Homo-oligomer: A and B are copies of this chain.
Amino acid sequence: MTREGDAKTSAFAVETLGERRHPSPLRLSTTHGDSIADFTNDEATILCDPTSLERAGRGGQTWAPGSRFELAGPRPHNYFRGEDVTAAIVTCGGLCPGLNSVIRGLVHQLWFGYGVRRILGVRYGFRGLGQNALEPMKLDPTAVRHIHRLGGTILGSSRGPLPASEMVDSLQRLGVNVFFCVGGDGTMRGCEAIHREVKARGAKIAVLGIPKTIDNDIPYVERTFGYLTAVSIAEQAISAAHVEAESAYNGIGVVKLMGRHSGYISAAATLASRDVNLVLVPELPFELDGPDGVIAYMRQRLTARDHAVVVVAEGAGQHLLDASGDTDASGNKRLADIGRYLRDRFKRDLAELDVTVKYIDPSYIIRAAPANAADAIFCGQLAEDAVHAAMAGKTGMVLGLWHDRFTHVPLAAVIASQKRLDLDGSFWRNVMDSTGQPALLGADLTAASARA
């Protein structure tokens, strides 16, 4: 019998490669209460929305009432045996704290947990699955011993996909039957294409995505690795901007942070800092001009307090700029530079206050950091559950986190939209409380809102 919201029949049902015949080699328990960790089975699920609000934290995420995600964890029986597995790992797109921790976690769980001995590290992103690519690295516990202390990815990365058929050719040539793909939304689209090609060929390759988005904008995934580290380093840059702002008469510190579509890092770093007076994110409609616009707010703030700190996400205020319409190798639209634009506008429009504007763009320093403690824990857990899922024959899915539990989410779901800050929610309310800025910035917007 299938009840409403059952994970198996819902939009969040996860595919498997086939029957699980092999008892798990893990020495876990099926008895609860014996002080030995338990296996998880496929019936274990978590509600998409455990609150009574039926709208909480959605931000671009939708589901039928009662919908559930499958919980991650080691299964008592597996599709693969360790000795039959050739695993491959690829890291794609921009750097993100924790990539090496994820790689290390995958290698450790494959090697020590399941006895897998053939683990390949694909070089420089999807490019390493091309016809004439560099040889993959051979990965084992010695090769990854110290890498969790280093930022970046020992495998290298790159932007942009190759044709799925060329990549699946390479996977098959290398004999890969378990494939871990670590990357952002572009990468997850490439990963889904690989999954479809694999299915079309009837190949038995488990295709697992591990979402890597420093912006935290993958839907149905509460938090992605690297995000907390990014926030903590972004906070340091804000701190520098605050020092610069306070040390000059009518000093303004402007910090541009990552966030193409979603302002999570900007919002969270603002809360961590408590020194920010204005935060602008892609989700927020705002205007510079007009009696309730950003410039007017800044004038008022400076007059009252002689300095101001502004945080702006790179994707904010794009309507103010003449964007080129170009895209980068990942297919992302090239953004116009809102940070420098704000800097110049502040200099010009607030010149009567004799402002000094200091502009900080800490992006590469943030991206290249190693994982902090919270992310190191998270990366390890994520990697372990990814290996459990793969060994169980799960495929076409990503490892997610939902209400602090690790979950399985279909690739098709996570590439369908982007997660965005909910401006009506409590997190953004905390941010507004912290900056003291008005909820809406811009004459017409406010008017419109007042009418609504």
Contact = CB atoms under 8 A, between A and B. Distances in A.
A27 interface: yes
A449 B232 contact: no
Contacts of A177: none
B271 A381 contact: yes
Nearest to A246: B152
Nearest to A253: B364
A360 interface: yes
Interface in A60-106: 68, 71, 73-74, 95, 104
Interface stretch (A195-203, A206-214, A400-408): A400-408
Given A149-B149, A284-B35, A248 B372 contact: no
A56 B152 contact: no
A398 interface: no
A34 to B, nearest CB: 5
A44 interface: yes
A14 to B, nearest CB: 15
Contacts of A36: 423-424, 439-440, 449
A150 interface: yes
Given A376-B271, A404-B403, A449 B243 contact: no
A274 interface: yes
Given A232-B374, A241-B364, A247 B95 contact: yes
Interface string A353-396: 00000111110110111001110110011001000000000000
Interface in A92-150: 95, 104, 108-109, 112-113, 123-124, 127, 146, 148-150
Contacts of A367: 240, 244
A424 B248 contact: no
Contacts of A449: 34-36
A274 B105 CA distance: 10
Contacts of A406: 426
Contacts of A56: 405
A151 B231 contact: no
B373 A51 contact: no
A145 to B, nearest CB: 10
Interface stretch (A16-24, A165-173, A409-417, A429-437): A429-437
A40 interface: yes
A216 to B, nearest CB: 13
A268 interface: yes
Contact of A426 (B73, B244, B358): B73
B424 A32 contact: yes
A37 B109 contact: no
Interface of A: 27-29, 31-38, 40, 43-47, 50-53, 55-56, 68, 71, 73-74, 95, 104, 108-109, 112-113, 123-124, 127, 146, 148-153, 156-158, 222, 228, 231-232, 235-237, 239-241, 243-244, 246-249, 253, 268-269, 271-274, 284-285, 358-362, 364-365, 367-369, 372-374, 376-377, 380-381, 384, 403-406, 423-426, 428-430, 432-434, 436, 439-440, 449, 452
Given A27-B439, A32-B55, A151-B243, 12 more contacts: A32-B424, A35-B284, A51-B71, A146-B150, A152-B246, A157-B248, A158-B248, A244-B368, A274-B376, A359-B364, A381-B430, A384-B433
